[in-house]
Amino acid sequence: MQAVRKGIKFDKKKLDKDAIYVVNTIHKAGFEVYLVGGCVRDLLLGLEPKDFDVVTNAKPEQVHQLFRRSCLIGQRFRLVHIIFGRRKFIEVATFRRGQAQTKKTGIIRRDNCYGTLEEDVMRRDFNINALYYNPYKYEVIDYVGGLKDLNKKEIHMIANCKLSFEQDPVRMLRAVRFASKLDAKLSAEIKTCLFNQAPLLANVSPARLYEECIKLFHNQYGFKVYQQLEKYGLLLYLFKQTQSNDFIKKALLNTSERIKQNKSLTPAFLFAVFLWQAQNMRFSHIKKQQRSVFLARVQASEDVIIEQIKQVSLPRWLTTKVKDIWLMQSKLEKRQPQKKTRELLKNPHFRMAYDFLLLRSQSINPELQPVVDFWMKAQL
Ligand code: ATP
Ligand code: MG
């Protein structure tokens, strides 16, 4: 049943002017068009949306013709990206219906069937993500009780939960992410399905899981996400070599702080933290047969990363950084002579390796405190 909530005006500063321009242009061309998904959800909660998605009854080719700087993308479903800068684009999708062509695993492979707004609702994941905002009428359209769920801070699946996770297991990660971000409760049905269906994540491509990992942990609520992933047995399908420890907690809380302070972040740091203990264990094992400590470290790093990319693919630039952070630890664990100290300070990855050492000293390796002081003074 459709519910329309009228008179909803959002703070202009929170609305992306490019997204509004896109909506207005499509509207003026005579099509139905809305902001949809996470941006409406976040605006209603007074949060700053991460991105703005637009949905319309215009076909991708028709949208493409309206914008000079736009391109058609996507194999699984055709979408239009309207380009506003080197890294900025607004994604426009056409209303879609149903789920088509599934493989043996049940995972959706192609679902490029256009539909109506009502049908488009049914292909989305959670009620709170199926709200459509009409910025020129100031209306929110809600077919599935998303507004009520937002008020109660509850997350319910639109369709049958078991099937929905079978069709796209990444929805399990999304459920946990939104629950943590919004401080919302997962429905009993979702919780049960998470416990039962976690192994389905093994069917998701490592490349997609990498994208999801960034979304899961590069935010202000990463530690909550981590705890939930562990609770529902999902962590095992992202980081099978990782065992929880205080270092991981400290690093995730530190990431939140850095975001609050607008400091730079690299995903390499968290991957290095998550895999640090596994790398150490592997090192202890290899050292028994390998006389060179350095070569044993290099081999241990390599082995752990090879295991990791079977689950979550990591770009080469990232694994290079991870290995550098690890290899620099043994150098930073000692006070070095002046010449060597100067050399290490010039290493482009010094700062990251030092931060890594600092967090270790504040969690699993308190004995490193004196050497942290040494490196802190060396930087002055
Ligand atoms: P955020 O951008 O804050 O991560 P979001 O909900 O906007 O959250 P997006 O990935 O930007 O997430 O997707 C936009 C919308 O597309 C979602 O709100 C949801 O309606 C739909 N959607 C995205 N991914 C899926 C999925 N895997 N299954 C079903 N619907 C999805
Ligand atoms: Mg979004």
Residue 98: inside a domain: yes
Q: CA 8 to CA 20: how far, in whole Å?
A: 15
- Cβ–ligand 1 distance for 212 under 6 Å, the answer no
User: What CATH number is given to the structural domain containing 138?
Assistant: 3.30.460.10
Q: Which of 153, 168, 198 is where one domain is finished? A: 153
Residue 360: inside a domain: yes
245 neighbors 192 (Cβ within 8 angstroms) = no
Which of 33, 41, 43, 95 is closest to 67 using CA atoms? 33
For residues 15 and 145, membership in a common domain is answered with yes
**Mutate which of 89, 99, 129 for ligand 1 pocket (most atoms within 8 A of beta carbon):** 129
Amino acid 270: pLDDT? 97
Which of 317, 219, 233 is closest to 268 using CA atoms? 317
Q: Which of 121, 153, 185 is where one domain is finished? A: 153
> How far, in Å, is the centroid of ligand 2 from the Cα of 35?
10
Pick the ligand that lies closest to the CA of residue 211.
1
Residue by residue, DSSP assigns 133-180 as EETTTTEEEESSSHHHHHHHTEE-BSS-HHHHHHH-THHHHHHHHHHH
For residues 9 and 142, membership in a common domain is answered with yes
Amino acid 101: pLDDT? 45
Quick one: angle between helices 267-287 and 316-332, nearest 10?
60
- Cβ–ligand 1 distance for 171 under 6 Å, the answer yes
pLDDT lower than 50: segments of the chain: 100-102
Q: CA 125 to CA 307: how far, in whole Å?
A: 31
Domain count, the chain: 2
- Cβ–ligand 1 distance for 170 under 6 Å, the answer yes
Residue 364: inside a domain: yes
232 neighbors 175 (Cβ within 8 angstroms) = no
For residues 123 and 18, membership in a common domain is answered with yes
94 neighbors 123 (Cβ within 8 angstroms) = no
For residues 24 and 129, membership in a common domain is answered with yes
Which contiguous run of DSSP H or E holds residue 5? strand 3-5
Predicted TM-score (pTM) of this structure: 0.93
For residues 26 and 135, membership in a common domain is answered with yes
Q: State both tokens at 8.
A: 């909803």
User: What CATH number is given to the structural domain containing 303?
Assistant: 1.10.3090.10
Residue 354: inside a domain: yes
Residue 229: inside a domain: no
Q: Domain limits at 337?
A: 246-378
Half-sphere exposure (Cβ direction) of 286: Cα atoms closer than 13 Å: 19
> Catalytic residue numbers?
51, 53, 125
For residues 139 and 250, membership in a common domain is answered with no
Q: Which atom of ligand 1 lies at the shortest distance from residue 39's CA?
A: 7
Residue 239: inside a domain: no
347: left (phi over 0), alpha (psi -120 to 50) or beta: beta
Q: Whose CA is nearest to atom 22 of ligand 1?
A: 124
Residue 56: inside a domain: yes
Q: Which atom of ligand 1 lies at the shortest distance from residue 174's CA?
A: 27
Q: CA 4 to CA 307: how far, in whole Å?
A: 50
Q: Which atom of ligand 1 lies at the shortest distance from residue 177's CA?
A: 4
- Cβ–ligand 1 distance for 129 under 6 Å, the answer yes
For residues 9 and 147, membership in a common domain is answered with yes
Residue 144: inside a domain: yes
Q: Which of 84, 118, 153 is where one domain is finished? A: 153
For residues 10 and 115, membership in a common domain is answered with yes
For residues 7 and 143, membership in a common domain is answered with yes
> How far, in Å, is the centroid of ligand 1 from the Cα of 170?
11
Neighbours of ion ligand 2 (CB under 5 A): 38, 51
Q: Which atom of ligand 1 lies at the shortest distance from residue 171's CA?
A: 27
Which contiguous run of DSSP H or E holds residue 246? helix 246-260
